[in-house]
């Protein structure tokens, strides 16, 4: 596995883990509000701190697949992932099979 792929995977895994904590804390609040959670962009850029709003149901649906991530438009890396869904506020990317998907699966806090 090349170093860039490993680094990108680790960076995105950090944001996914942060979002798992945010989602856990906000799920009860979302139930009594507009049913959305604010999460951080899960792109590979550790300096990115941009946020997006996601409906709880969408968050859970995407989290069910270790290879899917929420990123802001333009934050995707086409050589490591492809856009599988687009909304006005964010895109969902799927890691390419091979090294990118392996890193995503190994770092999924919901797996195992």
Q: Per-residue pLDDT for 30 more than 60?
A: no
Sign of CA dihedral 13, 109, 90, 23: negative
In a domain? residue 39: yes
C-beta of residue 92 within 8 angstroms of C-beta of residue 68:
yes
In a domain? residue 110: no
Structural domain that includes position 11: 3-105
Question: Using one digit for the tens of pLDDT, what is the confidence trace for 51-70?
Answer: 998 988 898 899 999 999 99
Domain count, the chain: 1
CA atoms within 13 A on the CB side of 90: 21
Q: According to the model, what pLDDT value does residue 86 have?
A: 97
In a domain? residue 54: yes
Q: Per-residue pLDDT for 25 more than 70?
A: no
Question: Using one digit for the tens of pLDDT, what is the confidence trace for 66-104?
Answer: 999 999 999 999 999 999 999 999 999 999 999 999 989
In a domain? residue 112: no
C-beta of residue 50 within 8 angstroms of C-beta of residue 66:
no
C-beta of residue 89 within 8 angstroms of C-beta of residue 81:
no
Tokens 């300096």 sit on residue: 47
In a domain? residue 111: no
């Amino acid at each position: 596995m090349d170093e860039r792929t490993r680094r990108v995977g680790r960076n995105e895994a950090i944001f996914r883990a942060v979002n798992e904590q945010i989602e856990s804390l906000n799920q009860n609040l979302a139930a009594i509000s507009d049913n959305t959670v604010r999460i951080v962009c899960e792109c590979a850029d550790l300096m990115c701190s941009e946020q997006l709003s996601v409906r709880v149901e969408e968050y859970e649906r995407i989290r069910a697949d270790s290879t899917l991530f929420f990123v802001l438009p333009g934050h995707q890396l086409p050589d490591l992932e492809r856009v599988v869904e687009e909304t006005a506020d964010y895109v969902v990317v799927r890691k390419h099979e091979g090294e990118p998907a392996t890193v995503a699966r190994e770092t999924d806090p919901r797996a195992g």
